[in-house]
């Protein structure tokens, strides 16, 4: 008896799907190496292009972060990571720009703090689930499909009670021209973020206009969205009611 040669089982289908994902990834890698080059050439200068002072919104919100490890996404040249490390938090900084990360190390050394740096594309970076007391995203503008997936990983990555802090430019920023990406696809609204971060409790979520003055590239009145979001603490499991063991012995009452 002959076997049907092209019988496709579920395992084969999964393998084919994995192969397709694998083969399509180099396109991403190519695109992202372009992004790395863009940021490397911006950072390839003796000065800190966003300055060395922390972002204002982060400075005002830092007290919300409980003790523990902090992850800074798209950290750039280190101004926010160094600020957090000086406050005593162990900090990990991730960025696609190796030149940016070399500046993070330099700024940390000059400030007598230690920062763990990870040279990675956020597309690939695995955020360890349940680990982080704080995750920070300051003007970390990435395409919507990556951002949605990243925020899914952020939600998983926070420890119970952990805090996510984000400030980004909104599409309204295109009319101000005082910094940020020149195209709408890299900008984000409060509505987008509320949807993407639905697993967190939003403690502060606003779109507002404010003066952003950070080095040579963020230079004046701007349209931003700000988020402080908390991972719910794990619910305490109710202690099971203990039922008294039934006793078979009968109460004997002494007659007086």
- How do strand 218-230 and strand 201-214 relate by DSSP bridges? antiparallel
Q: Which residues contact 99 (CB under 8 A, 6 or more apart)?
A: 39, 40, 43, 44
Least distance CB 138 / ligand SAM (angstroms): 4
Site string for ligand SAM, 140-169 (x = CB under 6 A): x-x---------------------------
Of 71 and 122, which CB lies nearer to ligand SAM in the complex structure?
122
Two tokens, residue 188: 């984000």
Compute the least distance from the CB of residue 237 to ligand SAM, in Å: 38
Residue 14, CB-side half-sphere exposure with 13 Å CA sphere: 3
What is the smallest separation between the CB atom of 182 and ligand SAM, expressed in angstroms? Answer: 12
Q: 78-137: which residues touch ligand SAM (CB under 6 A)?
A: 79-80, 95-97, 100, 121-123
How far CA 130 is from CA of 74, 91, 110, 118, 134, in Å, comes to 20, 16, 32, 19, 11
CB of 240 to ligand SAM, least distance (A): 47
CA 93 to chain centre: 11
Q: How far is the CB of 173 from ligand SAM (least distance, A)?
A: 12
**Of 137, 103, 143, residue with least CA distance to 229:** 137
Considering beta carbons, is residue 121 or 196 the nearer one to ligand SAM? 121
**For ligand SAM, the closer CB: 111 or 161:** 111
Based on CB atoms, which residue is closest to ligand SAM, 39 or 176? Answer: 39
Specify the residue for token string 């939003």. 202
**CA triplet 68, 117, 110: central angle to 5 degrees?**
90
Using CB under 6 A as the criterion, what x/- string covers residues 37-76 for binding ligand SAM? --x----------x----x------------------xxx
Report whether 91 contacts 121 (CB < 8 A).
no
* Smaller CB separation from ligand SAM, 33 or 201: 33
Shortest Cβ 192–ligand SAM spacing (Å)? 17
- Residues in binding contact with ligand SAM, number by CB under 6 A: 21
Q: Decide: residue 6, CB within 10 A, 0-12 exposed, 13-18 middle, 19+ buried.
A: exposed
Out of 85, 113, 138, 212, name the contact with ligand SAM by CB under 6 A.
Answer: 138
- Whether 138 and 110 have beta carbons less than 8 Å apart is answered as no
Which chain residues interact with ligand SAM by CB under 6 A? 32, 35, 39, 50, 55, 74-76, 79-80, 95-97, 100, 121-123, 138-140, 142
């Amino acid at each position: 008896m002959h076997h049907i040669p092209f019988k496709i089982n579920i395992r084969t289908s999964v393998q084919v799907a994995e192969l397709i994902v694998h083969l399509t990834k180099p396109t991403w890698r190519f695109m992202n190496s372009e992004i790395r080059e863009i940021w490397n050439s911006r950072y390839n200068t003796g000065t800190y292009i966003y300055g060395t002072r922390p972002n204002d919104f982060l400075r005002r919100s830092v007290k919300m972060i409980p003790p523990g490890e902090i992850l800074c996404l798209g950290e750039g040249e280190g101004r926010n990571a160094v600020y957090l490390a000086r406050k005593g938090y162990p900090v990990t900084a991730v960025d696609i720009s190796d030149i940016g990360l070399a500046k993070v190390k330099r700024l940390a050394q000059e400030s007598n703090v230690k920062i763990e740096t990870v040279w990675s594309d956020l597309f690939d970076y695995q955020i360890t689930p349940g680990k982080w007391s704080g995750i920070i995203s300051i003007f970390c503008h990435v395409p919507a499909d990556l951002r949605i997936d990243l925020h899914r990983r952020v939600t998983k990555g926070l420890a119970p009670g952990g805090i996510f802090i984000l400030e980004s430019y909104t599409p309204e920023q295109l009319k101000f021209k005082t910094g940020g990406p020149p195209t709408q696809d890299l900008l984000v609204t409060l509505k987008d973020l509320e949807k993407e971060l639905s697993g967190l409790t939003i403690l502060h979520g606003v779109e507002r206009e404010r003066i952003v003055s950070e080095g040579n590239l963020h230079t004046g009145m701007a349209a931003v969205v700000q988020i402080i979001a908390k991972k719910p603490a794990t619910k305490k499991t109710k202690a099971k009611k203990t039922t008294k063991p039934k006793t078979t012995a009968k109460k004997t009452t002494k007659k007086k």
